[in-house]
Structure 1
Amino acid sequence: MTEATEDKEQSFISHLLELRDRLLRSIIAVLVPFIVLAFFWPKAGYIYDLVAQPMIAMLPAGTKMIATGVITPFMVPMKVTLLAAFLLALPYVLYQLWAFIAPGLYQHEKRIALPLIVSSTLLFFVGMAYTYFVVFPMVFKFVAGFAPTSIAAAPDIQAYFEFVLTMFMAFGIAFEVPVAVVLLVRTGIVTVQKLGEIRGYVIVAAFVIAAIVTPPDVMSQLLLAVPLCILYEIGILAARLVKPKPAPSSEAV
């Protein structure tokens, strides 16, 4: 085995060890707030109550959600608490990701990578906030308006959690459109001019995606498709400020 091969193997092993350490730090960063919120905070159930508030507000006075599973009243609040802990730790988790990939980037790549990580995090949180404060109240009110008077709505907490998680992920990822557009232009895959030319196709795709990932009602589909189109335009405006990736050079890392 040559010395160069040994150096490559040692480098690969060192990268694996670093990746392991950063994954462990990220997991600990999630577990610590989860344990504190779930087992040491006296109002741990308040987190689920807060998440359920948009639905509760649309139910008849005195109506509560139900739990059909034996351990569902315990498991669902724990899942919500774990989600809250992950969101609290997300900036630190993304920092660990940045610290792992930064040494392998050129200087001009570092200048754009960190802003993209920060902006993508903020946009994800904005997408979740938009879902909670705008989408949920409008969708639940729209659905409640179609319910026959002979039906007493009492949603199951497990089904509600799965719905909320799906919507949070759908809208959080959808709000990353500007970042995706900037990356496409930065890497030279497409140009700003081309993005403008395919605008019509993007609008159609936005409505198709909204129809797939949201519940089968017009209101929620519109509430996702319209922001997607707006965010696409914002991405084009931001991409105008970004120069395409320069040709490879010997720039120092």
Structure 2
Amino acid sequence: MRRRRVKNPDGRMPVLDHLRELRRRLIIIVLLVAAGAVLGWYLYPHTLNVLRHPYCSVPEKFRYTPSRSTNCVLIYHGALDGFITRLKVSVISGAVFTGPFWLYQVWAFITPGLRKNERKYTLIFVIASTILFAAGMALAYVVLSKGLRILLEQAGNGTQAQLTVSDYISFVTLMLVVFGAAFELPLLVVMANVAGVLPARLLRRSRRIAIFLIFLFAAVATPSTDPFTMCAMALPMVVLFEVAIQIAIVHDRRKARRQAEERAEQHLDDDVPSAVDAIPERLDWSDST
């Protein structure tokens, strides 16, 4: 009979047990994404229509339109391109659909290394990360229509873009994932602050450098590389980073106050009498009944 492993209240475990725990969490994440991919495969026609909308919003003179048709189409050349595109979109959709569940697995793997009173942030982490990632994807989808039009119009009049479905879907999904992942920055900063890695004073001192790095990251990470898309990513990230700094300041103040109270309690000696007034205050009985 297999003996159950006794959990350490401090969350510490040997290296091999830590690797086994990582393997177990990764297997659960893969199964969750695979289950979501089945749903993504079924919803692929609707997902494709949503992803195709930014391209269809480009004026007809800059995109390929079949003769005697008003519909915008995406073409493909290889026999397997259609299947691979559908499989790719299904897997990405599955990861999005099951995001809260596999994010919980990630946090559950991290929490054994944290104190017991810090594990209460599990639900906050899952909800905040899901909302931030969804907000980043929503902003990317709004920016795509404008950014894609700017890119396609650079070729000038008399030219049309004949995009393949595989290249276009890769571009759009990369844009959505990059924006969603970038919006997780404030959450990572807050997590590092709660874990004691990034104190608030360090964040305040490095604010200017961080803003420069955010714009640099936006310039490199955005697939379209146009200034409009770069600013659309960088400016919200700067605002979210400032919010994370303010949260870190409040957390550090509360932590310092709590530590000061704990130190004051530790300095109390049972053998030393507490200081009291020599003459007690006179009680006022005038309002008593």
Q: Indicate the TM-score class for this superposition, using the shorter chain for normalisation.
A: 0.7 to 0.9
Task: State how far apart, in whole Å, the 2-side matches of 1:31 and 1:204 are.
Answer: 39
> 1:70: Cα distance to partner?
2.5
Deviating more after overlay: 137-146 vs 166-175: 137-146
Q: Which runs of 5+ in 1 are unaligned?
A: 1-9, 248-253
- Bigger-Rg structure (1/2): 2
Q: Indicate yes or no: 2:179 matched with 1:171.
A: yes
Can you give the 5+ residue segments of structure 2 that lack an aligned partner in the other structure? 1-12, 61-69, 260-289
Matched residue of 1:241: which SS?
helix
Q: Residues 96-126 of structure 1: CA distance to partner in whole angstroms, max 9, x if unpaired?
A: 3334444453212213354234312321121
- Distance, in Å, in 2 between the alignment partners of 1:164 and 1:148 is 22
Query: 2:58 aligns to what?
Result: 58
Corresponding residue of 1:208 = 216
2:36 is aligned with 1:33? yes
Q: If the length of structure 1 is used for normalisation, what is the TM-score?
A: 0.80
CA shift in 2, pair 1:229/1:95, >3 Å: closer
Letter of the 1:185 counterpart: N
- Give 2:107's aligned residue: 98
Match of 1:183 in 2: 191
Output the amino acid matched with 1:135: V
1:238 aligns with 2:247: yes
Aligned: 1:140 with 2:143: no
User: How far is 1:178 from its partner?
Assistant: 1.3
Once the two structures are TM-superposed, the CA of residue 193 in structure 1 deviates from its matched residue by 3.6
Residues 56-110 of structure 1, C-alpha deviations (whole Å, 9 max, x = no match): 2215143322213331122112211111111111212122333444445321221
The worse-fitting range, judged by mean Cα deviation, of 12-21 and 93-102 is: 12-21
Question: Does 50-59 or 97-106 show the bigger shift?
Answer: 97-106
Q: 1:75 aligns with which of 61, 78, 84?
A: 84
Q: Tell me if structure 2 keeps the 8 A contact 1:182–1:242.
A: no
Number of aligned pairs? 236
| Contact residue 63 and residue 154 of structure 1 kept, 8 A | no
Q: Aligned pair in 2 of structure 1 residues 32, 110: CA closer, same or farther (>3 Å)?
A: same
CA distance in 2, matches of 1:198, 1:21: 38
Query: Normalised by the size of structure 2, how large is the TM-score?
Result: 0.71
Q: Which amino acid is 1:227 matched to?
A: P
Answer yes or no: is 1:227 the counterpart of 2:227.
Answer: no
Identity %: 28
Equivalent-residue separation in structure 1 for 2:104 and 2:188 (angstroms): 19
- Residue 55 of structure 1 aligns with an amino acid whose one-letter code is Y
Deviations 1:138-185 (A, max 9, x none): 212322443312111222211112212321222112111211222343
